[in-house]
Chains A and B, each alone.
Chain A
Amino acid sequence: MVRRRAAVGNNPSSQSISAAPTEAAGVPSRKHNICMVSDFFYPNMGGVESHIYQLSQCLIEKGHKVVIVTHAYGRRKGVRHLTNGLKVYYLPLQVMYNQSTATTCFHSLPLMRCVFVRERITVVHAHSSFSAMGHDALFHAKTMGLNTVFTDHSLFGFADVSSVLTNKLLTVSLCDTNHTVCVSYTSKENTVLRAALNPEIVSVIPNAVDPTDFTPDPSQRQGDRITIVVVSRLVYRKGIDLLGGIIPELCLKHPDLQFLIGGEGPKRLVLEEVREKYQLHDRVRLLGALEHKDVRGVLVQGHIFLNTSLTEAFCMAILEGASCGLQVVSTRVGGIPEVLPEELITMCEPTVRALCAGLETVIARHRSGSVPSPASIHARVQHLYTWRNVAERTEKVYDRVAGEEVLPLDKRLRRLRAHCGPVAGSIFAFIAVLDFLFLLLLQWWAPDRVMDVAVDGTGPQGMCRQPPSGKVGDVLKVP
């Protein structure tokens, strides 16, 4: 049943019915109808959100059709269209915690099926392991016989009870997923261990920044002072406690030093307390939450970019800092050592002493004038990571996935039980059966053939034609 449906319902255009997966380079790849699913999307702001947006835009540029599915944010619900006809579904699902939806494994199926069928989706791409909606989508997509891709954006430990549980859920969720994408090699190792995956179905495709958004402007710098910029959410995981130790140490030694801190969070208190206690009001400026478009304006005022994260899968912030021509000082954690070549970053152990020492060497280099110019740093960084490159590599993943067979229900159940252990495997096999029965009910109630096909906004025959020289990575234009 599932196989038949997959064959009938989900191959919309003649282009996508090709005999064998075309893996060789040079052969023009076929076009896919991709559905990005994540709880995190605009108006929420962060690495995952901009990743989804930029990747979608580049895939549209390459001729694929992309729709984004997320949950409703306040009064923002229903369907919205962004630049280049990128359609976003804000589904009315209940938010539970930290912008992540509650999951019952079933309640989102009717809505998701609607989207998948109406948009003639061929590949479902879920983002972020914190997104319950993404996991739901992967589950339903498999029930509907679609191929799935998952991108993991974060690292997770193994030590405590909560991580044991979430890792088990990830194992179940990724057991059926055709391919997983991680943003760094460290993240790949982490995901392979957490979800007990075959490392060959995990690709590493880094994030990117738009170099045109982050250009240096040395004239914004204060000449007589050295400015250290920090742009991060003020939470424990970003090492704000370390920052609270660094500030008084360095301010004492260097009277011409000032800190510019952008971001908001519960650890703001720590910084305010330090500022109060050492009376550094004129030298430590807390800017509060920054909009994405304002980040560059803050970055270019600085000489040194400081990142004190305690864990980080990729860290776009240091890339943005380097792209603006700043000297980057960062903790050596997670995937950070992979991101920038050694001459562009000073890495320290995550302690106050080590970070202070690292910062002081960079300050000394500054004073002696032996640092490369911001323009040369920008020139070095701007070609390292581009969204077009990310899209190309993701496209290869789609090509590979589209050629794979979707397991029929009996094999799926057997794999769940074999892969996820007897207890969790059996529970989720049972849920998979229920999901399948629910799908049958929905198909009887509203058959696929009577559902309208959505108007195609993007893609090769898209309604919204792209401008001839469409620059990818335009400012987010939301109606």
Chain B
Amino acid sequence: MGPDSVPGPAVPWRKVLWEQQPFPDNYVDQRFLEELRRNEGIRQYRYWAVVKEAGFVGEQLSCVAIFITLWLYMEQGLLSPETLLWTSLVSALLGYGLHQALTSQVQPGCEPRTRLADLQSATIFLSFTFGFSPVLKTLTESVSTDTVYAMSAVMLLAHLVSFPYAQPSPPGSLSLNAALFASVCLASRLPGALHTFAMLSCALLVFALWPCLLHRLREKAPRQFTGVCVGVCIGGVGGLGSQWPGGAVLLALALGSVTLLCPLLLVRLQRHKDNIQGPWDEAEIHEDLSHFLHKWTEPRGAQVAADLTFKKGASQLRILYE
């Protein structure tokens, strides 16, 4: 089955429709699909680079494990709330100092937060948590323990899934809220109000402040960041292992597959990537068109508008004078 008739070779075929060409309609030229491009702008991944990036996922997984370990210790009375509070306070201060040290230079454009403002937020949060901890303690009393555990598990999973791994500072609202919801659920099953308060402060440290510090660390000291990630992973597996060895094995397997196996798959499967692009693709608008809309205060938009109004006014004046 070939084209309907043999074309006269005298005139070359052109990719135009407005010209009657001496070729049948189903003619297939040499140049057919010549504008097809494959895998344009594809990224070539190196295995260890991907492993490093995936390490952050493993680290977050271990953070959740560490939090659960702490809760298990608290629930069984092996860890007193006072110890946890003091440890949290010390690590918070150390972390704050490190964070300040890493943010040495001021970024242009945004006002740096003062120490006073930080202290203010911390005080407000702590006093409110402390005040409300008796309420939080009895919050889930009417709910069965199984439901509370199931809910916490789902919420921690949601935290892990929705965590903004690429840009963890500030932590995404969905992931942070899911994690705090889970911690309230778990903390309400602890024996006393002080336990609840200690657990919630610890949750804030692990899920809200720690990712910020880690993000800063990743930017400023990538080498140390890898070390910290490995440390947290070992800590998570070890901590969970002291209470629940089966869980520790599962966590180790999960960490291994997330940080080692998945990157391997990604790099291996990259060979099979076959992305085709061509003139039929929908053009993308790369420019930022929002400055034409929305903001009145935008200098350019306002200037254009003012200019236009002026011109309009001038033309109306001219009409009046005429």
Please report A residues at the B interface, Cβ cutoff 8 Å. Answer: 23, 155-159, 179, 184-187, 189-190, 192-193, 198-206, 237, 239, 241-242, 244-245, 248-249, 251-252, 255, 270, 273-274, 277-280, 310-311, 313-314, 331, 333-335, 337-341, 350-353, 384-385, 393, 396-397, 400
Contacts and interface: CB of A to CB of B under 8 A. Distances in A.
Most buried by A among B36, B283, B286: B283
Contacts of A241: 285, 289
B4 A311 contact: no
Most buried by B among A187, A190, A249, A314: A190
A192 B296 CA distance: 48
B312 A202 contact: no
A244 B307 contact: no
Contacts of A202: 26
A350 B2 CA distance: 38
B321 interface: no
A237 B282 contact: yes
B2 A189 contact: no
A274 B295 CA distance: 11
B2 to A, nearest CB: 6
A13 B231 CA distance: 85
A206 B307 CA distance: 46
A204 B20 CA distance: 12
Given A255-B315, A350-B285, A184 B17 contact: yes
Nearest to B25: A203
Contact of A186 (B19, B279, B301): B279
Nearest to A341: B18
Contacts of A204: 17, 25-26
Given A186-B280, A351-B285, 9 more contacts: A185-B15, A199-B28, A200-B1, A251-B308, A280-B308, A310-B283, A335-B17, A338-B15, A352-B287
A110 B33 CA distance: 41
B131 to A, nearest CB: 46
B280 A187 contact: yes
Contacts of A252: 304, 307-308
Contact of A277 (B1, B24, B296, B315): B296
A185 B15 CA distance: 7
A186 B33 CA distance: 9
A187 B294 CA distance: 37
22 contacts: A23-B4, A158-B276, A159-B281, A193-B33, A193-B276, A193-B278, A202-B26, A203-B24, A205-B25, A239-B283, A241-B289, A242-B289, A244-B292, A245-B287, A252-B304, A278-B304, A278-B308, A310-B283, A333-B282, A333-B283, A334-B279, A339-B17
Interface string B8-21: 00000001111100
Interface residues of B, number: 45
A289 B2 CA distance: 45
Interface string B255-274: 00000000000000000000
Nearest to A155: B280
A193 B274 CA distance: 13
B46 interface: no
B166 interface: no
Interface in B135-178: none
A248 B4 contact: no
Interface in B286-322: 286-287, 289, 292-294, 296, 301, 304-305, 307-309, 311-312, 315
Contacts of A248: 292, 301, 304-305, 308
Contacts of A155: 280-282
Nearest to A276: B293
Contacts of A23: 4-5
Nearest to B1: A200
A475 B16 CA distance: 30
B292 A245 contact: yes
B28 A200 contact: yes
A199 B32 contact: yes
B18 A384 contact: yes
A185 B25 contact: no
Contacts of A206: 17
Given A23-B4, A393-B25, A245 B289 contact: yes
B311 A157 contact: no
Contacts of B28: 199-200
Given A185-B15, A338-B16, A190 B4 contact: no
B44 interface: no
Contacts of A341: 16, 18-19
A385 B19 CA distance: 9
Nearest to B282: A311
A105 B60 CA distance: 48
A77 B55 CA distance: 62
A156 B280 contact: yes
A179 B1 CA distance: 12
Contact of A397 (B25, B275, B307, B312): B25
A255 B310 CA distance: 11
A396 B308 contact: no
B3 interface: yes
A167 to B, nearest CB: 11
